[in-house]
Amino acid sequence: MSTLRAVKGMNDVLPEEISRWRRIEEAFWRIVGRHGYGEVRTPVVEPTALFVRSIGEATDIVEKEMYTFTDKGDHSLTLRPEGTASAVRAYVQHSVQNREPVTKWAYLGPMFRRERPARGRYRQFWQAGVEVYGDPGPFVDAEMIHMVVTLMRELGVEDVEVLINSLGSGDTRQRYLDALLAYLTPHRDALSADSQRRLETNPLRVLDSKAPEDKEIAAGAPKILDFLDEEDAAHFQELQDTLTALGTPFRVEPTLVRGLDYYSRTLFEVLGHGGELGAQNTLCGGGRYDGLVEQLGGPRTPAIGFAMGIERLLLVMGGEDAAPQPDVFVVIPHASARREAVVLLDALRAAGLTADADLRGGSTKSQFRRADKSNAKVALVAGPSELERGVVQLKDLAAGTQEEVAREEAPARARAIVFGENA
């Protein structure tokens, strides 16, 4: 029988890798917490219509990448490909706008897209993201972009590039689309097959195609920034001025359109350079989506958010993996002492120590080897003769010293060595 493996593009994260994941997660919660975001947890599965209506029918995600299935009740459900649609659904469903004028939500969890797996591109991947409802910006836009850069810096990821653009709002986008179509249509035959198709369904996406023939044509296309109305232009200018005031460098990238339909006005991406990142170097993407809450049945509410890919951050972040390590390793020289050893371990853990043992028993030598390998600071030897006398042998593994201590005092004495406390 063939052995079962994880689904292609979906990864296990083993304990020795978790320390770096935790560093990202802790830094994320620390920084968003400082900015007043509250955590929201939404289901991993949503009605398919939610994503079709928000991300857009003609996007890569909805056209090709969703994990969609019919459940036994004949409902079409989809594993969430991103977090924004679910957050808006929850915001509308719980009428959150009635409780507070501005809502700041943060989330972290797995997302699912059936993309072609590559380094930094997976079919299950983790995003940490935020969404703000009720604030039209542009100050919150700048603050959010600056927050991402601060987070990256805290994680030691310095070599990043912030790209920004504005898609304008309502009317602007339509006027631009008309001009873009007028420009692209005569070049139709020279475009890649994908872009020819997009010309019909989603012409903005032709602009960020990676195909060389498309890039050349896109370079000559009209620029959306020339189409912004006065208010959109002022919004975009203030965003830039506030970023400058915050000391966050950025580059205006007029071809930045991003692959989801819900955006309006501010768009941004943070690119990473170096580390083990390959072509998938967009660490974070986000933007404003002032029409989506209303489109999904809520009141007219401006909104902005971003999400960053945790696996991609791991590829640039550096730092060592670290397996969990005990403070104290209990060596059990005789099988008959194992029950007492379990009780001793419990006392050590109750005293706040991380304690482990090989409860299978085995040779004392091999247990000491494990104690050494585990990097524990203290080894306790609890054999039948010690236990009979109500003592244990306590070894300070760094100092190489050994003492006999009363069993009840072992946790305090071990703490003294591990944490430098007075026993």
For 88, 169, 254, the CA distances from 172, given in Å and listed in that order, are: 24, 6, 14
Q: Which is nearer to ligand HAM, 131 or 356 (CB)?
A: 131
Among the listed ranges 169-177, 278-286, 325-333, 361-369, the one in contact with ligand HAM (CB under 6 A) is 278-286
Choose which of 27, 54, 83, 107 interacts with ligand HAM (CB under 6 A).
83
Query: Residues near 335 by Cβ (< 8 Å), separated by ≥ 6?
Result: 361
Q: Which is nearer to ligand HAM, 192 or 282 (CB)?
A: 282
**Residue 302 found at the interface with ligand HAM (CB under 6 A):** no
**Residue 66 found at the interface with ligand HAM (CB under 6 A):** no
Min CB(383)–ligand HAM separation in Å: 52
**Residue 137 found at the interface with ligand HAM (CB under 6 A):** no
Min CB(308)–ligand HAM separation in Å: 5
Choose which of 46, 60, 82, 290 interacts with ligand HAM (CB under 6 A).
82
Choose which of 46, 60, 131, 290 interacts with ligand HAM (CB under 6 A).
131
**Residue 129 found at the interface with ligand HAM (CB under 6 A):** yes
**Residue 306 found at the interface with ligand HAM (CB under 6 A):** yes
**Residue 308 found at the interface with ligand HAM (CB under 6 A):** yes
Q: Which is nearer to ligand HAM, 84 or 195 (CB)?
A: 84
Min CB(269)–ligand HAM separation in Å: 7
Count of positions on this chain that bind ligand HAM (CB under 6 A): 25
End-to-end CA distance of the chain, in Å? Answer: 57
Choose which of 149, 283, 292, 316 interacts with ligand HAM (CB under 6 A).
283
242-248, long-range: CB < 8 A, 24+ apart: 242/138, 242/139, 242/141, 242/142, 242/143, 243/142, 243/145, 243/146, 243/162, 243/164, 246/142, 246/143, 246/146, 248/142, 248/145, 248/146, 248/149, 248/162
Choose which of 134, 137, 272, 287 interacts with ligand HAM (CB under 6 A).
287
Interatomic CA distance for residues 410 and 420, integer angstroms: 15
Min CB(287)–ligand HAM separation in Å: 5
Residue 96's φ and ψ, nearest 5 degrees, are -60, -30
Residues in 17-46 that interact with ligand HAM by CB under 6 A: none
**Residue 265 found at the interface with ligand HAM (CB under 6 A):** no
Interatomic CA distance for residues 338 and 359, integer angstroms: 7
Residues in 89-118 that interact with ligand HAM by CB under 6 A: 113, 115
Min CB(257)–ligand HAM separation in Å: 11
